Structure 1
């Protein structure tokens, strides 16, 4: 929904920016203060081949954020003075926390840090949002917001509650701060994550609860307060990683009554918000009155007919994106098709001149195609299939990737069909271990990958974000896998590429081992079905990483250790693996991996470690793994011995290392 001059609305998107759908705030006045460093001087410095970073200590969260912020400074000298104003704002907020809040001064600082002319330039706005996320801003904002509400005597920020507070200093500060939050949740999902950690979302849910008691106020155009509150939640819910935080505030139940509003704008804004918040169980609340699906299709049809491809500020691509969000819940897929979504999507695929609209339409078809009945019907629709094949050759990379993904799913066989064609299929332990994951979890999984490689496993992991353009490579990786590690999170569940991988592995009856990557996440829907009752390994950070890795290695056993394929970062090579030779062991007797608990106990006694209770739970397989780590990943080995096995004395560490090295 495009920006209007008089009130907050959904954000617009330009062809150049390719921005995601989100809620933004009206333009705020630009401060009359001028920057300490003029733009011209900075640009001339950059043009001379030099770089400039601020001398003052960056108010960032950690060293990595400092480095990233300095990279942004270097890459965007034209924004340098805005960065400085941001620093000044955070420093003032932190100083005020130690004394009495100076609301008017802080309001002016916020205004100075908001370069309103950039809010319609999405690329620059995105840089500013990212930069704000890197600063220690979120925590300071949350504390200031709560204190300002309390000092103003408000329990909620609504049109009714603020009517009698027009002259209060904290109120002006709150208006400006809400504008910052709305604009930067619009432009940075990372900023949304930072806010989620502060607990600030509870204030916006309280606003909506209070507004719910006066639903008659929302029979016309929604007011700024309502749109501001729902806007921050809507923008943040686009990030699957923090949806649980939003759900725990009972946000879905708070929003549902607004679907009865007489205002089409209110209903659609709420429906698009719910599309990103509903889980499988809560979706039943929406299905209780399926007229909401007729409503969103009606809005799409109206927007498509206008020359601007907008209706009441809502764009075609925005409405389609909302429908795709609703279709993430599998029970909605068939219903949307029955309601007539496909002909409308085909209109876009056939006649639109906008790559953004076409991409959204293709992704919606892709999502709907995960339903088996829809898939059968879509395959019979020759025009649809021809349109997708045509769009697969698009010069727009995003459109081409989405089209390839949709076609791939449409051609995918079911588990029963694969059973018929692979009656004598057996698990081939000589294949590799495939890591199927969502990009946000890469850092943790690279650690898993390297340490499993050190233990002799062959790994296939898409490290270079190959995505839809190489779906065939992904398919071959699944086909050649002994085991597929399905790395579960809400982001994984929402990803169409990830679902394509996981369901393909499931259809081929591959051994699937689930890894939990998001704390307290409970897989539901299609991902819950694939997980089933399988044992999963929690790498969300709740438990010790090293222990979980050893448990995972034990579960894998010999699967993925064969010599048929040496697999590195998504490339499969048909050659024997070349591993660094282990130290020759002169010891004799049964292989350590076969040791019983008594054998391990005897070894501990013989090696002089019987008094160390932290070693008593080690198995023979664990000892073999530790031996391999000692020469494949020595830094990890010594960290584990000291931190987890509690051998802190240098002599004990040396003796234990030597004893492990002598194992056979």
Structure 2
């Protein structure tokens, strides 16, 4: 939600100030944006030359916000705020392409604009003697300053997960929640009124930023730890439709399965959300307080709860989402098809989707879409409905099939089109151990994979995040698995691809062994039902992975083991025992490096031309060294895809530099 969405409500409330003047801003490309960290370094200038002025502006803004001199006098503050308003605050809205906006905001995060913004905001509060912000009169100097800083946070957190995450980590979330508590107390005591224009502006900018941060899964735990749900609840039934909508959508992103009743104690929440989407789609610009794609994403968030899925369809969401599938705007198609995929996990909804006019025809057209996320969602809807894409007939998933005509019964490579997953080792039975996990937990699961291979197991693991039409690849991996390891976490539970894998493994009667990868996580909802009270292996803490995998291997037995022992060339050493002592010793020093240390290190190995590496911290460099030793496949994939190191000589230079630490 950028300023365009926020100002829409201000207009609805009768505000005709400059805050509402941007309501008709022409750009409407909104979306849950993903960003590639490999594009957050200086190479972003090369890839997006059209962003040059905006990139330079956020660099100057970060520097000026971080300079204490710019807060010491009214003249300095006025100059800075004017600069932000003219060149920085609304910059993301100047670009129509999702990837441009994402690249700009992510770059801003990497150069610490979010951190500098938060510190400057805190200092501004202190300077004016404020502990909380309960109203914003931006006709005053104080209100104008705070409002500008909030709008900057609002627009950039909307465009980038990295920016939102840094904003939360810097303490901005805590400040906003304190403000909400203060406003709530003021309303209860009668000292404040939500109908007051200045109180409304303070609330709207506050909750808009909260919404933008809540939609990024990396921030979810922070909301829960700061008791955000209880702080937001008093505003769920606000008379102001904009405040109400923003709070409901924010809660939809952060409420856990077991607390769903807090949000949906009656069905009016669903009626309200679907009413907003209906009105949005009736308008030429598809905007009713929120953009249509934001409302579709909000419905999907509500649909994460199993009990909500059939209610959302019964209330009439499916025809609206189907209509969005034909939109020429990809940013509307993506959340719509994703929401239908989420809804398709419910059996009652499967029938509704099959009979919804034009729905399957439109979904089928999306299977070959250029956007791999849209293609994957469309392909997976057909998978969940058990319908053959070509014939449109129900096919029935076959159970536990292995092609015995292939060597070792291995699945044919033809069933894994463009697959970026990989098998390690050779199995006597043709079956393997499959690791099903969420991308965020990849480093620890690579260690598990390596340890299992060293113990003689054949392991299947998606290393490079398959996207697009991947149902055949996934089904082959499951069908040819002796055991499926499920890496349990909240993000795994919330992931549709992970659910697809896990439930298919269950349908195939595969042996499932849960691994706990999030400290203290207790599975609920569909994942809780699937794993039940099964014995799990906790690899979430600072454990010796080899010791844990040895315990796991006892449970695996010979299932998925290679024939003839462990070939020497496949052995992955136990780095906890074989790593040279100098690595541990140097890591301690490296993690304390500052920016000048990093730059000096790069220069000493001729890497200064890769200037974007200067943004790495000492701790991150030390971790790269660990990855180089413990997960070489992932290390090389990461530096190529994420750090944009494309030339062999540069790869060799970086590897040498890390090796010498």
Asked if Structure 1 and Structure 2 have the same fold, meaning a TM-score greater than 0.5 normalized by the shorter chain, the answer is: yes
Q: How many pairs were matched up?
A: 529
Of the three residues 182, 195, 202, the one matched with 1:210 is 182
Instruction: Assess, with a 3 A threshold, how the Cα gap between structure 1 residues 67 and 288 changes in structure 2: closer, same or farther.
Output: closer
Following the alignment from structure 2 to structure 1, what is the Cα–Cα distance between the partners of residues 439 and 99?
22
Q: Which residue pairs with 2:166 in the alignment?
A: 194
Partner of 1:298: 275
Q: Is 1:324 the counterpart of 2:324 in the alignment? A: no
What is the rounded CA distance, in whole Å, between the counterparts of 2:23 and 2:263 in structure 1?
22
Superposed counterparts of 1:625-664, under 5 Å: 632-633=572-573, 637-639=577-579
| 1:257 CA displacement | 2.4
Deviation at residue 448 of structure 1 after TM alignment: 2.9
2:498 counterpart of 1:498: yes
SS across alignment from 1:477: helix
Hey, what does 2:594 align to over in structure 1? none
Q: Distance in 1 between matches of 2:358 and 2:62?
A: 56
How far 1:354 moved relative to its partner? 4.1
Are positions 1:134 and 2:113 aligned together?
A: no
- 1:550 shift after superposition: 4.1
Distance 1:638 1:420, change over 3 A: closer
Q: Which piece of structure 1 moves more, 5-14 or 441-450?
A: 5-14
In the alignment, is the contact (CA less than 8 A) between 1:126 and 1:188 conserved in 2? yes
Flag structure 2 segments of 5+ consecutive residues without an equivalent.
8-17, 389-394, 402-427, 585-661
Distance in 2 between residues matched to 1:515 and 1:103, nearest whole Å: 56
How far apart in 2 are the matches of 1:523 and 1:12?
43
Q: In structure 1, what is the equivalent of residue 416 of structure 2?
A: none
1:183/1:18 CA distance change after superposition, 3 Å = closer
Which residue pairs with 1:579 in the alignment? 567
Match of residue 363, structure 1, among 316, 328, 338 = 338
Q: Quick one: distance in 1 between partners of 2:367 and 2:38? A: 41
Task: Quote the residue 1:149 is aligned against.
Answer: 125
The whole-number CA distance in structure 2 between the counterparts of 1:253 and 1:292 is 17
Partner residue of 2:347? 372
Indicate conservation of the 8 Å contact 1:418/1:508, yes or no: no
Cα distance, 1:141 vs structure 2: 3.8
Deviation by residue 1:240-281 (Cα, 9 ceiling, x = unmatched) = 232121122222222222232222222212222122111112
Q: Does 1:19 align with 2:7?
A: no
Aligned counterpart, 1:446: 446
Cα contact 2:448–2:545 (8 A) shared by 1? no
Structure scoring higher RCO (CA < 8 A, sep ≥ 6) equals 2
Alignment of 1:98-497 (within 5 A): 105=76, 108-109=79-80, 112=83, 114-115=87-88, 116-121=90-95, 122-159=98-135, 162=136, 166-168=140-142, 173-212=145-184, 213-214=186-187, 217-218=193-194, 223-311=200-288, 313-349=289-325, 352-379=327-354, 384-393=359-368, 397-411=372-386, 431-497=431-497
Deviation at 1:380, TM superposition (A): 5.5
- Separation in 2, partners of 1:528, 1:432: 25
Moved more, 111-120 or 494-503: 111-120
SS at match of 2:236: helix
Q: CA deviation at 1:326?
A: 0.4
Moved more, 396-405 or 293-302: 396-405
Equivalent pair of 2:30/2:293 in contact (CA under 8 Å): no
Aligned residue among 15, 19, 22 for 1:6: 19
Q: Which runs of 5+ in 1 are unaligned?
A: 23-63, 564-575, 583-627, 645-664
**Aligned-partner Cα distance in 1 for 2:196–2:482:** 59
Maintained 8 Å contact 2:31/2:293: no
Seen in structure 2, the aligned counterparts of structure 1 residues 124 and 363 have a Cα distance that, compared at 3 Å, is closer
Contact residue 487 and residue 516 of structure 2 kept, 8 A: yes
Deviations 1:372-401 (A, max 9, x none): 232244446575444433443556654433
2:418 maps to none
CA 1:241 to 1:487, structure 2 compared with 1: closer, same or farther past 3 Å? Answer: farther
